[in-house]
Structure 1
Amino acid sequence: MILQEIALKKGRQVVGHSVQSWTRQSKVCRGNLDNDIRCYGTERGLATQLREELAREHVKDLANQQKAKKKARAIDKDFFMSVLNSSATKREARSYIQRFTPSKDSQPKRSAVDTKPTLANGVNLGGLYGPTAVEQSPKFVQQPERLAKIAVESQLHVALVKLRAPQTLDDETLNGIGRTLSQLGRLGLISLVVLDCNLEASLASARHNPDWRALEAKQASRLVAAIDASGDTGARFVDNVIGVSEKHAASGFAQTKTHISLRKLLMTPLRRGIIPVIPSVGYTDVSQTAVPVDASDVVLALTKELAGIPSVLEPDEDPSETRDRLRALRDEISLDRLIILDPLGGIPASDRPNGYHVFLNMEQEFEPAEQDLLKTLRNDEKVMPPDSGSVKQKVSDLAAGNPFSKFVETEFGDPTSTLDSIGQPESKDRPTPSTWHHLQNLQLVRSVLSILPQSSSALLTTPEEAANSGKDAPFQPARVGTRRQRNPLIHNLLTDKPVFSSSLPVGRLGQSSIAEPVSPVESITPTTFAKHGMSVTIFPDPKITPWAPSVPGEPHLTLTDSKIDLPRLVHLIEDSFGRKLDVKDYLRRVNGRIAGVIIAGEYEGGALLTWETPPGVKDDGSPESRARMVPYLDKFAVLKRAQGSGGVADLIFKAMVRECFPDGCVWRSRRNNPVNKWYFERSRGTWKLPGEGWTMFWTTPELSMDKQLFLDYEGVCRGIEPSWADNKAVLD
């Protein structure tokens, strides 16, 4: 009766509340529901309510799980789209899988051609390279063959990343970088990031930026959060692994004697697949005082540590124990990449049509690239010290033989008088310090690669390109050589090559649009890929003696010259073409008309070019005859083991069209030659010879091409007789 009266007055909700209050105070029906003790009255209502609450929590958990699955699927979709957009070929995919597959102890032996291995991180790449992603980037491969099975040791593959000026990047770009680094980790390459907040300039005087450590910590936390939000791969702020000797920290800015003091703190996150983010902060060895350090010095210290080169050796340690310890350190980690993310992008080049180096063969091109940057500095009307480098400290490094500091002192006197302006906002009247940063990046790449094995490489690009996932990039099928927009970091990991070939003509790189035409140079993002590379030797040197038809009675180059190793050249040709050469007949045909020979490395590749007389022209050595002679690419060969990788063919082709025959040359290839796709992208024109099994290619600019020259080209390509030992004139 009491409950009925309450219900009539205050409603059913109050009744429920009163019932619950009454049952909490009641000592009736206290039985245990789990023991199946029957309860009556309000206890049954409690059980119902409990079940309802549990049901609601279960539904909530299911909803959270569904949201998590949707987020995971979105991350996976973004990841696989980035991989597919990289357009790696089957050959490059096999090479990548061979390098990043776990050791033979953890996986059974399988054929590298017939299997689709799954990496330890759960990424199955075997099915990604279908018809849409295969054969889009032709390679110089004359005789494709099955790849040999390679036993890959279980190493931790690491990329050392230097990110300059992160404080200038918005959250969207930083999140994109975090997503890309996370994707690299899923592909088997864990990153180690060094932040460069341009502290060196602002620390010329303490008043410019007293909160430099807070700036470093804030930017490191931003990047850690961006990586953590990107997917499975996490990140950790590591602030206490950089040591600095006390005497070099006394000046207030440490640029030398930087080392890794706590290797364990560095290795623990790396082994767990967590990306360490390291600020440019060091701690003195004795007093443990925090001092700013140059980010490039941090990169070099990390390179030496990860490469197994200790900064200090224990004097009492047994030499054999030292050798074994260092060998174990080298076997633990493979430092595969140096990645420099700089707002300025790659290394500029004044002699390149696109304005920068696509591929830097450090063996051959480092000194010319460095001199080109120094020349740019000389031409500046006023030199402003860079905001990321203390010029005063650079000049003080003269004793250490720093060529950059020596140049500054020689060319501009004592630049320390301008230190008061360092760190101040740049005015429109001042030149930007971009050249200084480019020079610093180039020297850092040289220093790092000189420590690492030949297989290691470096990539320099902009943070915006590193943040590009490719998902918003429209397909541009306008021209040969134009591909879907790719992330250069992911593409470089899968292919060990730049986004596009360095030997491609600039006109083949633009994204043409009828509505909004864009010039090829403007549409290319300055990204530079660098490797140790190999030397390229040219006989005769076109810088000394430009290639021209020989004059009767004057000395000329022959293949029996002491400068040329004929047996190795013959082996190169036979290995590349898979056929035996009739050496005697070949020498009889080409000696006396050789234009020049290009050799890459230790005869890993080469090109032999001749001067050919068109049909109907007397070969009498007269000026008229010599004027009609055609520059002809007689042999272009790359060893099988170097075909399709290493950029050997690109090095030779670039030397041919840029240094030897900038006005163009011609060659022919059998119609079914698999390398024709590669030729097609690099030529200015092609012509299938009617009634013949040959396709003619040429690199002559369109303005220089006339009817007579075309007929001369065709006549030469028709008239060349092969010199193979099997005497088979028509190859197809």
Structure 2
Amino acid sequence: MGLPHPTLKKCPDAVGRNGWQTLPWTRYKRTSVAIHSNNTCHFATAGPSSSQLKEELAREHVKNLSSKQNAKKKAKTLDRDFFMSVLGSSATKRDARSYLSRFTLAKEPEKKKPTLPADSSNPILYRNGVNLGSFYGNARAVAESPKFVQPPQKQTSLVTGPQLHVALVKIRAPQTLSDETLYGIGRTLSQLGRLGLTSIVVVDCNNSGGTTANSISRRLALEQTDRVAAAIDASREPRARVVNNVIGISEATTEDSPSIYMKSKVHVTLGKLLMTPLRRGTVLVIPPIGYTDRSQVSYSIPADDIVLALARELAGFQSVPLSEHDTEGIGDRLRELQKEISLDRLIVLDPLGGIPASNRPNGYHVFLNMEQEYHTAKQDILAAKAISSDKLTDDFHIRKLQHIKNLQLTRSILSMLPPSSSALLTTPNEAANSGREQDTPFQATGVGTRRQKNPLIHNLLTDKPVFSSSLPVSRLGHSSSFMSYEPAPPSAYVSPTTFVKHGISVSIFPDPKITPWGPPIPGKPRLQLTDSYIDLPRLVHLIEDSFNRKLDVQNYLNRVDGRIAGVIIAGEYEGGALLTWETPPGVLDDGSAESRARMVPYLDKFAVLKRSQGGSVADVVFNAMVRDCFPSGVCWRSRRLNPVNKWYFERSRGTWKLPGTDWTMFWTTPDLSMDQQTFRDYEGVCRGVVPSWNDNKGG
């Protein structure tokens, strides 16, 4: 019997084994059956014409090519949206350098090829391939002789891997968000991951904590957790993973009620379940559910407690005491953990937005310096009163309580992190900006005509708020505060976003809350730079470092003696301002009421250390000056070619180029208080102040 035709296939039902494999193009052929004398059957296919086969293959090729092109177009669209959102953040060169210095991946050391030691006993192979054994090598007795060496030491790598930058993200009330908003948030978190910041998302469904009997809240939490994870997965990379078994609850005694330990004893039980996916860039999504350590009973936990537990874990702190045998090497492990992980940010996405402020027309703090403003901000929220009808009073108090919780959570997290860490509180709609479609209506702010920035991406690139907190409120428009129930018009919309840092302390001499700043009164002691509570050498260093010029100290002290209105110092002399009372030309300085009424508040020196420039120090000092010290206005001057003038122009209420000079005059006085006489007094003072520099170049 001859061999079967190549186009035939044995019937597996008839033969049962050793059947011929179907050719990949048999689905394009017509099939017939042939029965042979040895009781075997074969399927024979009648091949189509070559033109039909080519046509079918061409169609499939076009179909595959079309799907590939569609995938490429989608990828290009996502990349375009990503880069447009990055470019739209308007990062300056200084911001870009700062971002690259923090997020550039460390280069791994090059691996050297292993080389055989000189005393190797391996056979020697010459180019001709002949194995000469050990005839020309070292003697076997020498090679196998014992070697007396030190015990193996602990190997430490000189170059560690790239530091992992992590953000803790809390999404409150995701059940109230639309799918479009949630997918926009997912895209923003994916963009943060591509920029080097990996997120751990904690879902907050407003659970206050409870037992397993509350199955409705548990089911809601798990459903919303899956929604958040699906929204992140929809943006290609990075992927999301739901982790619901890393939060533990310590049990003191069996008689304890869950409410006793629900807050203080929440901790991370399995840190490896966090670290392994984080190293791969995976976004972790955690529901507000925890398990008891011994009985493994699940409970609903407040999301704030989970965020605090995660912060303690990533910062190297332990939420529960370690056993005695585990104390050895704790310091080394903490140092290694801090080298590997940097918890950079806390991001709170709350429908209520940032921290409210009653003294700002936009209704929210733009930048909050916790070291200086925490207690003031808290008292401001507590003192707020509902301005609407009685039926909304309960809702108003709930909003106040939530703002207090957000403020306290932010302070607790930042207190355990390095000063470089920060927090951002904004609405889910603002966080979803980068995820909106291209046909979204244009929104302009009160500052120029710029498109709304995504605060999360902008903050990552610049480590600053969306706009400076020292800008006059008249340039920012307004938005509804938490005390108002009427939304602001889109043309005047300002993002209700608060950028928070642990910040620096601010010292003001004299304290305007105790002694308001006013013109000098004859016979009363005045502040002097030689007073004991002012460190004059550090103040001089601050001025010289900021201006890059040497100050004639004695000449300067002689000029400002008896005229000092006050001194503002930020941190450890990282920034500061020195303000004086100046007498306009033609006004007799005799201490009379008429003379004191004409005296001009003048910003004589405004300085920030070079290493602190570009951050928030300048805003902190400027805000203290215009809000706490001279709310009615102050003036100053600057050379026309001073690179800081752009910053001055944005924060002043008015400017004037003094004719015949190289000076530009600035002031913050409200328009209603700026009459012709005040303007002339300002101009006369700015023309007449004599500089005190060693180079005698003026300015």
The offset of 1:367, in angstroms, is 1.2
Change (3 A) 1:703 1:692: same
Which secondary structure does the structure 2 equivalent of 1:191 belong to? strand
Change (3 A) 1:548 1:153: farther
Name the structure, 1 or 2, with higher relative contact order (CA <8 Å, separation 6+): 1
Change (3 A) 1:299 1:86: same
> How far apart are the structure 1 equivalents of 2:453 and 2:562?
48
The offset of 1:332, in angstroms, is 1.7
Which secondary structure does the structure 2 equivalent of 1:339 belong to? strand
Instruction: Tell me which amino acid in the other structure corresponds to 2:302.
Output: D
What residue in structure 1 maps to residue 579 of structure 2?
609
> How far apart are the structure 1 equivalents of 2:444 and 2:675?
30
> How far apart are the structure 2 equivalents of 1:158 and 1:231?
20
The offset of 1:372, in angstroms, is 1.9
Residue 243 of structure 1 pairs with residue 248 of structure 2: yes
> How far apart are the structure 1 equivalents of 2:661 and 2:369?
38
Change (3 A) 1:17 1:711: closer
The offset of 1:479, in angstroms, is 5.7
Instruction: Tell me which amino acid in the other structure corresponds to 1:59.
Output: V
Which secondary structure does the structure 1 equivalent of 2:534 belong to? coil
The farther-off stretch of 662-671 and 429-438 is 429-438
TM-score w.r.t. structure 1 length?
A: 0.78
The offset of 1:256, in angstroms, is 2.4
The offset of 1:709, in angstroms, is 0.7
Residue 166 of structure 1 pairs with residue 171 of structure 2: no
Change (3 A) 1:241 1:690: same
Residue 631 of structure 1 pairs with residue 631 of structure 2: no
Change (3 A) 1:657 1:62: same
What residue in structure 1 maps to residue 200 of structure 2?
192
CA contact (8 A) 1:482 1:510 kept: no
What residue in structure 2 maps to residue 369 of structure 1?
377
What residue in structure 2 maps to residue 499 of structure 1?
466
CA contact (8 A) 1:511 1:520 kept: no
Change (3 A) 1:313 1:323: farther
Residue 597 of structure 1 pairs with residue 577 of structure 2: no
What residue in structure 1 maps to residue 510 of structure 2?
540
Which secondary structure does the structure 1 equivalent of 2:687 belong to? helix
Q: Deviations over 1:145-164 (max 9, x none)?
A: xxxxxx99711101100000
What residue in structure 1 maps to residue 617 of structure 2?
648
CA contact (8 A) 1:572 1:604 kept: yes
CA contact (8 A) 1:252 1:292 kept: no
**Percent of aligned positions with the same letter in both sequences?**
67
Q: Deviations over 1:110-136 (max 9, x none)?
A: xxxxxxxxxxxxxxxxxxxxxxxxxxx
The offset of 1:216, in angstroms, is 1.1
Residue in structure 1 matching 2:339, options 331, 335, 341: 331
Q: What 5-or-longer segments of structure 2 have no aligned partner?
A: 1-25, 38-43, 111-158, 480-486
> How far apart are the structure 2 equivalents of 1:355 and 1:277?
32
What residue in structure 1 maps to residue 675 of structure 2?
706
> How far apart are the structure 1 equivalents of 2:492 and 2:611?
36
Residue 446 of structure 1 pairs with residue 378 of structure 2: no
What residue in structure 1 maps to residue 642 of structure 2?
673
Residue 289 of structure 1 pairs with residue 288 of structure 2: no
Residue 77 of structure 1 pairs with residue 41 of structure 2: no
CA contact (8 A) 1:611 1:629 kept: yes
Which secondary structure does the structure 2 equivalent of 1:625 belong to? helix
Instruction: Tell me which amino acid in the other structure corresponds to 1:439.
Output: I
Change (3 A) 1:365 1:18: closer
> How far apart are the structure 2 equivalents of 1:482 and 1:210?
50
Residue in structure 2 matching 1:227, options 226, 232, 237: 232
What residue in structure 2 maps to residue 268 of structure 1?
276
CA contact (8 A) 1:482 1:508 kept: no
> How far apart are the structure 1 equivalents of 2:489 and 2:636?
29
Residue 352 of structure 1 pairs with residue 316 of structure 2: no
Residue correspondence of structure 1 range 27-66 to structure 2 within 5 A: 43-45=46-48, 53-66=56-69
Change (3 A) 1:68 1:478: closer
Instruction: Tell me which amino acid in the other structure corresponds to 1:353.
Output: P
The CA RMSD measured in Å over matched residues stands at: 2.9
CA contact (8 A) 1:510 1:519 kept: no
Which secondary structure does the structure 2 equivalent of 1:21 belong to? strand
Instruction: Tell me which amino acid in the other structure corresponds to 2:200.
Output: L
What residue in structure 1 maps to residue 30 of structure 2?
20
Q: What 5-or-longer segments of structure 1 have no aligned partner?
A: 1-15, 29-40, 108-150, 383-425
The offset of 1:99, in angstroms, is 0.4
> How far apart are the structure 2 equivalents of 1:509 and 1:465?
17
Instruction: Tell me which amino acid in the other structure corresponds to 2:81.
Output: D
The offset of 1:525, in angstroms, is 2.2
Q: Deviations over 1:424-446 (max 9, x none)?
A: xx965633310000000000001
> How far apart are the structure 2 equivalents of 1:699 and 1:503?
11
Instruction: Tell me which amino acid in the other structure corresponds to 1:596.
Output: G
Change (3 A) 1:340 1:476: closer
Residue 691 of structure 1 pairs with residue 691 of structure 2: no
Change (3 A) 1:161 1:477: closer
Change (3 A) 1:215 1:612: same
Residue correspondence of structure 1 range 479-490 to structure 2 within 5 A: 480=447, 483-490=450-457
Instruction: Tell me which amino acid in the other structure corresponds to 2:257.
Output: S
The farther-off stretch of 615-624 and 463-472 is 463-472
> How far apart are the structure 1 equivalents of 2:283 and 2:622?
39
Q: Deviations over 1:528-574 (max 9, x none)?
A: 11001101111111111111111111100111111111100000000
Q: Deviations over 1:365-384 (max 9, x none)?
A: 111112222333xx5799xx
Which secondary structure does the structure 2 equivalent of 1:162 belong to? strand
CA contact (8 A) 2:356 2:365 kept: yes
> How far apart are the structure 1 equivalents of 2:499 and 2:191?
20
The number of residues matched between the two structures is: 606
TM-score w.r.t. structure 2 length?
A: 0.82
The offset of 1:314, in angstroms, is 4.0
CA contact (8 A) 1:354 1:521 kept: no
Q: Deviations over 1:243-277 (max 9, x none)?
A: 01234895345222001111111122211111110
Residue in structure 2 matching 1:156, options 158, 161, 164: 164
Residue in structure 2 matching 1:552, options 490, 506, 522: 522
CA contact (8 A) 2:267 2:320 kept: no
Residue correspondence of structure 1 range 407-446 to structure 2 within 5 A: 428=392, 430-432=394-396, 433-446=398-411
The farther-off stretch of 165-174 and 314-323 is 314-323
What residue in structure 2 maps to residue 406 of structure 1?
none
CA contact (8 A) 2:161 2:340 kept: no
What residue in structure 1 maps to residue 217 of structure 2?
212
The offset of 1:317, in angstroms, is 3.4
Change (3 A) 1:455 1:71: same
The offset of 1:602, in angstroms, is 0.5
Change (3 A) 1:290 1:477: closer
What residue in structure 1 maps to residue 555 of structure 2?
585
Change (3 A) 1:519 1:67: closer
> How far apart are the structure 2 equivalents of 1:473 and 1:106?
47
Residue correspondence of structure 1 range 467-482 to structure 2 within 5 A: 467-469=432-434, 471=438, 480=447
CA contact (8 A) 1:260 1:302 kept: yes
The offset of 1:508, in angstroms, is 0.7
> How far apart are the structure 1 equivalents of 2:293 and 2:650?
57
Name which one, 1 or 2, has greater alpha-carbon Rg. 2
CA contact (8 A) 2:28 2:48 kept: no
Which secondary structure does the structure 2 equivalent of 1:668 belong to? strand
Which secondary structure does the structure 2 equivalent of 1:710 belong to? helix
CA contact (8 A) 1:505 1:682 kept: yes
Which secondary structure does the structure 1 equivalent of 2:684 belong to? helix
The offset of 1:44, in angstroms, is 4.2
Residue in structure 2 matching 1:566, options 523, 536, 541: 536
The offset of 1:49, in angstroms, is 6.4
> How far apart are the structure 2 equivalents of 1:17 and 1:158?
53
CA contact (8 A) 1:506 1:520 kept: no
> How far apart are the structure 1 equivalents of 2:45 and 2:245?
62
The offset of 1:475, in angstroms, is 6.5
Q: Deviations over 1:624-653 (max 9, x none)?
A: 1111000000000000011112x0000010
Residue in structure 2 matching 1:510, options 467, 477, 500: 477
